Amino acid sequence: VEKVLDKALAREDISVLGDLKTNPVQVAMFKVLGLLVVYGIVGMALLPTLAVIRGFGYGIESRLFIVNALILVLALGLFMVTLPIVVWVVKMLLIGKRQTSRTIAACSWTHFRIWVVDRLWDMIAGGIAETFGGTTLLPIIYRGFGARIGKNVFLDDTVLRNPELVEIGDGSIVERGAVLETFVELPSGSIMLDRV
């Protein structure tokens, strides 16, 4: 099944592994299409927020300023909860809960799916790590995104690039500033995923 899904989106002669560069026009089109998908997904995550704003009648002249401010705070809080949930759903649909160590050809369908999920994850990972760093919730959140994290693990605002490729043993401590890199973009535009 993976062979069918990993069909190159660009011609084979320009999408190769190794030190050769890919066609810059193809790569640009690939990334623009990816960004359109990413922003479309973020737009879907905004829909409940917009419904709250419209439903409470934000901006009606007769309302007090404080009421409008509370509506905006409620809407922002809803978006902060909705976006990670949408990213999780998209991740499960596009790449699943687990990834394997491998090298993926540039401009392939698999590369596109991983690239889109990686951009979405970049949007939320820093906020999640900063908000829940040093708490027992951060390992739970990362487990939900596929990381294998043991018991009594302390993560101090650590951002995991691809949580599904990370394994942290029982009783481990990962301090602030630690980088657990699982994703490397090669000069050819291909990406290499490996476990940490």
Tokens read off for 175: 């301090």
Continuous H helices in 56-176: 65-94, 109-132, 137-144
Q: Indicate the angle between helix axes 24-55 and 65-94, nearest 10 degrees.
A: 140
pLDDT of residue 61: 59
Nearest to 170 by CA among 152, 156, 144, 148: 152
Q: 106 falls in which pLDDT band (50, 70, 90)?
A: confident
Tokens read off for 20: 């050769």
Q: What percent of the chain has pLDDT over 90?
A: 4
pLDDT, tens only, 3-40: 444 544 444 444 444 444 556 677 677 778 888 888 88
User: How far is 185 from 183, CA to CA, in rounded Å?
Assistant: 7
- Of the two residues 157 and 87, the one the predictor is more confident about is 87
pLDDT of residue 59: 59
Q: Looking up tokens 């879907």, which residue turns up?
A: 44
**Beta carbons within 8 Å of 59's beta carbon, 6+ residues apart:** 68
pLDDT, tens only, 132-191: 888 888 899 889 888 899 999 998 888 888 888 889 999 998 888 787 888 888 877 788
Q: How far is CA 75 from CA 47, 64, 177, in A?
A: 10, 17, 32
Judged by phi (left if over 0) then psi (alpha if -120 to 50, else beta), residue 107 lies in left
Sequence spans of domains, the chain: 21-193
User: How far is 30 from 107, CA to CA, in rounded Å?
Assistant: 7
- Of the two residues 76 and 14, the one the predictor is more confident about is 76
Mean pLDDT of the chain: 78
CA angle 148/152/155 to nearest 5° reads 70
pLDDT of residue 170: 92
Average pLDDT of 99-119?
84
Q: Is the pLDDT of residue 76 over 60?
A: yes
**Beta carbons within 8 Å of 11's beta carbon, 6+ residues apart:** 23, 26
User: How far is 107 from 191, CA to CA, in rounded Å?
Assistant: 10
Q: 2 falls in which pLDDT band (50, 70, 90)?
A: very low
Average pLDDT of 37-57?
78
Q: Looking up tokens 């390992």, which residue turns up?
A: 139
